[in-house]
Amino acid sequence: MRFRPDGLKAAAALLIAACTALPTLNAHAQANSIFPTGWDSNVRSRLFMRIGYTSAFTKTKSEEARDITGDVVTRAQLKGAFKLADAMINDCTAVGGPTTYSAADCDRYVNSGDFSAYELAGAGPLFGSTSYSDPNLDAEPDSDSFFGATGLKGLGIPPGITARAQRQIGTPTLSVGYWIDEDRKWLLEGFLLAAPMSIKIYGGGLRADGVTPNGLNGRHLATTKLLPPLVIGSYNFGAKENLVRPYVGVGAMYAVFFGGKSTSFFDEYQGGKTTVTTRNTFGVGPFVGLQTHLDDEWHVNVSVGRIGLRTTSRLVTSNTNINSDSAVLKDISATNDESQRDFTNLLNLGESAWGSGGFTTRIMELAARVKGLPNQGTFVREQKMKITNTIVTVSVGRSF
């Protein structure tokens, strides 16, 4: 059965209103009552308040993260980077010195290392072309090349990246309940106050070999805050005078996410400062519980329920810079072997040939120049998740 969000909103609003909007009548207030004169004693007798602690034990099922704005560097932009490097090599090594490019360009992209690295880790291994100065991007890459083996159209978010929420969170809670009928069989309880819960988000997934954990696996990526208004409607078994009364019910939750922050590790992996926002969402699910009377006014309550939430997190990375030390590059591979199908191996070949390090940094800088940008730009990714929450509340209540 699928619930419509509009219907859930209306149901939650009605339940909360039923718990909080009580009629004003003309009876006199009882002694020591917290209610003003005019509140009917029968209404007061059906009200109670509970103070307790609520824990949520989460299980996350995540889809793979996906690029919304496209690859950080496309095959065409890499082609342009190698062509630009070739043009610089020709100009900077010409008799009489460079005429097109600056001395600073020559120092950084030609003279500071062995420029044969552009060929060793360039057109042939990446594209299957015979010359790094003219990669064969117009045709399908050779199957032995990196792009031929992976089928990728560029370098973006690595495949297989998933996420999971922190497995246990909790907060103190305050709730108000109202018995609908005189026999106290039917009950509405609204959780009116709860401190926001802080939720850590962790990475997961494997590299292309299906065995090796990726660079995000098990790492703390971001933290978000959750405010979870909750209403429970229940049917209570036994007579109202019974010492112990079990009950079953249905809960409705509207999860409000706010204050998302990425970790410095995740920013470095993504290549720039990343903002995290998570869509608010509704969820419903079954609840069971047990209420034990201590005396005519006080009782202890324990409840357990399960609510599933489907949501999407959006990650926006600004001023993206990919360089020789970027961990994300190690997760972009077709295999995990020492061949030209492994992107990490290709980069290592280039770094080794360049000699002084920084070969990958230079390629990415040249690709940014092809774009006409100072860096790779701003990129948006999305991560869809289903979070199943087992909600446990232990509370002490007092009747009015």
Segment 376-386, tens digit of pLDDT:
999 999 999 99
For residues 44 and 83, state if they share a domain: no
For residues 130 and 183, state if they share a domain: no
pTM of the model: 0.81
Which range is least confidently modeled, 11-15, 238-242, 347-351, 386-390? Answer: 11-15
pLDDT band for 306, please (50, 70, 90 cuts): very high
Q: What percent of the chain has a predicted confidence (pLDDT) above 90?
A: 57
For residues 140 and 205, state if they share a domain: no
For residues 108 and 187, state if they share a domain: no
Q: What average pLDDT does this structure show over 102-122?
A: 86
Q: What average pLDDT does this structure show over 242-249?
A: 96
d(CA 315, CA 260): 10
pLDDT at 227: 92
d(CA 154, CA 77): 8
For residues 247 and 126, state if they share a domain: no
In-domain check, residue 323: no
Structural domain span for residue 345: 73-155+335-369
Q: Check whether 28 has a pLDDT greater than 80.
A: no
In-domain check, residue 376: no
In-domain check, residue 377: no
For residues 286 and 347, state if they share a domain: no
Task: Decide if 284 contacts 4 (C-beta within 8 A).
Answer: no
In-domain check, residue 221: yes
Number of structural domains (the chain) is: 2
Residue 334, Ramachandran bin (φ over 0: left; ψ between -120 and 50: alpha; else beta): alpha
Q: Check whether 91 has a pLDDT greater than 90.
A: yes
For residues 262 and 176, state if they share a domain: yes
Q: How many CB atoms lie within 10 A of CB 131?
A: 13
For residues 114 and 193, state if they share a domain: no
For residues 126 and 252, state if they share a domain: no
